[in-house]
Amino acid sequence: MTISKGERVPSTTFVKMTENGPEQVASDDFFAGRTVALFSVPGAFTPTCSARHLPGFVEKAEELKGKGVDEIACTAVNDAFVMGAWGKSANADGKVTMLADGNGEFAQAVGLTMDGSKFGLGTRGQRFSMIVKDGVVAELNVEAPGDFKVSSAEYLLDQI
């Protein structure tokens, strides 16, 4: 079942790359007591994700933070090494936290998986964005397959 506005983000674990290597991040701790703009992409280094989705959040980071967002995070069903490298290549350091959902546990827990098998991707997270306030979903924007309209930084800015 897909998560809805007003529901608590499920307890899962992400992994982020740090200067000391991969570090586990509990979702309960990550979202607690603050406002997070979270967006999900089907995969790091994929065309729309690299050309438009992540760059939009990098470009709009200051505007989002100016509207009360404490942290911006990107998640994908990729490993922490790939997410870390993608973040560096997109100049996301200090603007967007790259959270690996390597086993797809978060995507599955929020009910937002997709089957990318015909592209050799297997099960991935759908393209979506959300505002999470103290662990509770305040806004949720899920894209139709193949679309990039409602999960952009610009769209999220208009909701805050």
Catalytic residues: 49
Q: Using CA atoms, how far apart are residues 133 and 136, in angstroms rounded to an integer?
A: 5
Q: Using CA atoms, how far apart are residues 136 and 38, in angstroms rounded to an integer?
A: 12
Q: Using CA atoms, how far apart are residues 134 and 138, in angstroms rounded to an integer?
A: 9
Per-residue exposure over 54-64, b if at least 16 CB sit within 10 Å of its own CB, e if not: bbbbbebbeeb
